[in-house]
Structure 1
Amino acid sequence: MEKVIYLVNHGEAEGSAAQDPLTAEGILHGSELAQFLEGYPIERVITSPLMRARQTANEIGDKLGIRIEDDSRLAERQMSTRVFDDWLVKVEGTFLDLNLSYEDGETSNDAMQRVCDVVDELPDNSHSVLVTHSLLLVLLMRCFDQRIGFEDWQAIKHPDVYEMRLADAGAQITHLWEHE
């Protein structure tokens, strides 16, 4: 049994609201990303419904000739409804305490559970792309490697790609996208 999952962080966006689109550079990088992934045996592309992820997924799906599937469980983690001046400190805190939540926010454990449910539902011996957002992407990798944390989140680019191979023996996570 093996599942191969290509974890894609969306391209550069105009902002972080649900309907904020990709920038012109984000669209260009999405196209480059799709061309890069063309060399992999991908069967499914599943995306967050947020505009920036959906646009990135569309580039991939169009290039590979694969219909895009939306899954709301791939939407970015909602840390809080409040805006914090010390946002980075707050994010780091949620990696140090996976049960920490802020006003109307989701804990890291809750976010990890919903995104891991997506992975659990993928069939054995499949090759899928999950297009999501940086914080949720890192939390997903953390489900399979507890060493992954805040510093890894800070290193994520827009766009970015990781390959995660899940087998009975464990997980192997490889950073694939070396684009500047």
Structure 2
Amino acid sequence: MTTNLYLVRHAHSTYTPDELGRPLSVQGLKDAETVTKLLKNVQVDKVISSPYKRAKQTVEGIAEHIGQEIEMMDAFKERRLAEESVEDFHTAIAKVWEDETFSWKGGESNLVAQRRGVEAIHQLLKKYNGKSIVIGTHGNIMVLIMNYFDQSYNFKFWQELEMPDIYQLTFNEEFLIRVRRVWEGNY
């Protein structure tokens, strides 16, 4: 029996230092409507999200469509890069991808963040075997999860993700058997 997980990277957000409460931008809200339209074309049994507002806002339309509340899971929040803002984000993120055990002060290494996300994926695969689950999440943790199952999903892949982006991961029990991109850019 196969289980489908739809990993949804949140739409564009308006930057604020409030990581938890950062909302979608006007364009992000429009793109979230497109996410809903796309996901209406598939059977969705459950919607789960990172507790971050931008991730929830991106998937709330499909939750409303199926008449369910969104289940929050901390495991799908974005990886914490560092305790404080970093001077050069691109250099800082490249460094953690170069060495999966490296972390900036107060941040998570790729290995630690990946373990968090993958443990949650395994829980969902057991709990919702044979179902289709939408997961509102963030780019870095999403790619770290995908990388665990297939290392071709790497730093370069992360750099090319869109905002939003949707990937369907199909599992047979706990084995990844297929990955398909659902989001195809501008609609």
Shift of 1:89: 2.1
How many angstroms apart in 1 are the aligned matches of 2:66 and 2:15? 27
Which residue of structure 1 lines up, in the alignment, with residue 78 of structure 2?
Answer: 76
Structure 2, unaligned runs of 5 or more: none
Any idea what the Cα deviations from partners look like across 1:77-132, whole Å, max 9, x if unmatched? Answer: 00102322332122122222111100100111111111111111122212101110
Which residue of structure 2 lines up, in the alignment, with residue 178 of structure 1?
Answer: 184
How many angstroms apart in 2 are the aligned matches of 1:62 and 1:5? 18
How many angstroms apart in 1 are the aligned matches of 2:113 and 2:46? 22
Any idea what the Cα deviations from partners look like across 1:35-64, whole Å, max 9, x if unmatched? Answer: 110011110100000010111121221123
TM score, norm. by length of structure 1: 0.94
Superposition CA RMSD, Å: 1.5
Does the 8 Å CA contact 1:4/1:127 hold for their aligned counterparts?
yes
Structure 1, unaligned runs of 5 or more: none
Shift of 1:6: 0.4
Q: How many residues align?
A: 180
Counterparts of 1:101-140 in structure 2, within 5 Å, are: 101-122=103-124, 123-140=128-145
Which residue of structure 2 lines up, in the alignment, with residue 10 of structure 1?
Answer: 10
1:41 to 40, 43, 53: 43
How many angstroms apart in 1 are the aligned matches of 2:39 and 2:55? 16
Which residue of structure 2 lines up, in the alignment, with residue 26 of structure 1?
Answer: 28
How many angstroms apart in 2 are the aligned matches of 1:149 and 1:179? 20
Shift >3 Å, 4+ stretches = 168-171
Does the 8 Å CA contact 1:58/1:68 hold for their aligned counterparts?
yes
Classify the secondary structure of the residue corresponding to 2:60: helix
- Percent sequence identity over aligned pairs: 27
Classify the secondary structure of the residue corresponding to 1:92: helix
Does the 8 Å CA contact 1:144/1:171 hold for their aligned counterparts?
no
Which residue of structure 1 lines up, in the alignment, with residue 96 of structure 2?
Answer: 94
Shift of 1:13: 0.4
How many angstroms apart in 1 are the aligned matches of 2:148 and 2:106? 23
Does the 8 Å CA contact 1:145/1:171 hold for their aligned counterparts?
no
TM score, norm. by length of structure 2: 0.90
2:155 to 143, 150, 153: 150
Classify the secondary structure of the residue corresponding to 1:58: helix
